[in-house]
A and B are shown apart, each in its own frame.
Chain A
Amino acid sequence: LAKTTQPISMDSYEGQEVNITCSHNNIATNDYITWYQQFPSQGPRFIIQGYKTKVTNEVASLFIPADRKSSTLSLPRVSLSDTAVYYCLVVPLGGSARQLTFGSGTQLTVLP
């Protein structure tokens, strides 16, 4: 299983763009990258996933360089409600056996 490394915490101000980088040096060819958000006492919620280059949806963008050894989650114009823990996961494609391993995550605190 590819291990992921993220900053433990980050602070930002409302309206700023936040970039959270995740390192996954041992990512395998059939792995894709997924990000989840978790609020206190709630289950994690899927944000975005990608395999390479750039993926964008209504809430975030995911940038993955060609070597795929890292990825960056970009949250545009954060608000106070974006304060949460963000997890980066490396998940294998295919097969019915999957161990979704969550690391320590990044605690993002958005300040007014």
Chain B
Amino acid sequence: DSGVTQTPKHLITATGQRVTLRCSPRSGDLSVYWYQQSLDQGLQFLIQYYNGEERAKGNILERFSAQQFPDLHSELNLSSLELGDSALYFCASDEVNTEAFFGQGTRLTVV
């Protein structure tokens, strides 16, 4: 158990819909990262938050947005979903200059 909790574990939704993925970081970790991993693809960095503020941005689509709340949990919002958005979405957390701990992911299936 990495200490990073992601919910839900599985999500099935239709094209055009909007979903919210939730991540609770390890206790004390201020930094949260979001990644997308499509079938047989690598981990694509989406965005990083540190103590509530966006700090680094990757190839995140405009249809996707994220935020980190005062209690440090984070949410990734995916809207106008397309079939190609089906993927595993991972959240990770760390303290500065330490290893990142990943959650078990949310498997999103868009039908």
How many positions in chain B have a CB within 8 Å of any CB in the partner chain? 28
How far is it, in angstroms, between the C-alpha of A42 and the C-alpha of B101 when the chains are bound?
12
Chain A CB within 10 Å, residue with most, of B48, B51, B100? B100
| Residues in A neighbouring B92, C-beta threshold 8 A | 43-44, 100
Report yes or no: A99 in contact with B100, Cβ–Cβ below 8 A. no
| B 49-88 to A, binary, CB cutoff 8 A, 1 in contact else 0 | 0110001101000000000000000000000000000001
Report yes or no: B31 in contact with A96, Cβ–Cβ below 8 A. yes
A44 and B31 in contact (CB under 8 A), knowing A97-B56, A99-B56? no
Q: Is B15 an interface residue (CB 8 A)?
A: no
Q: Is A93 an interface residue (CB 8 A)?
A: yes
Q: How many A-B residue pairs have CB under 8 A?
A: 65
Minimum Cβ distance to chain A for residue B90 (Å): 5
| Residues in B neighbouring A96, C-beta threshold 8 A | 30-31, 50-51, 55, 96
Give chain A's interface secondary structure class: loop
Q: Which residue of A lies closest to B33 (CB)?
A: A100
Q: Is A94 an interface residue (CB 8 A)?
A: yes
How many positions in chain A have a CB within 8 Å of any CB in the partner chain? 23
Minimum Cβ distance to chain B for residue A56 (Å): 16
Interface residue ranges, B against A (CB under 8 Å): 2, 4, 30-31, 33, 35, 42-43, 45, 48, 50-51, 55-56, 58, 88, 90, 92, 96-97, 99-105, 107
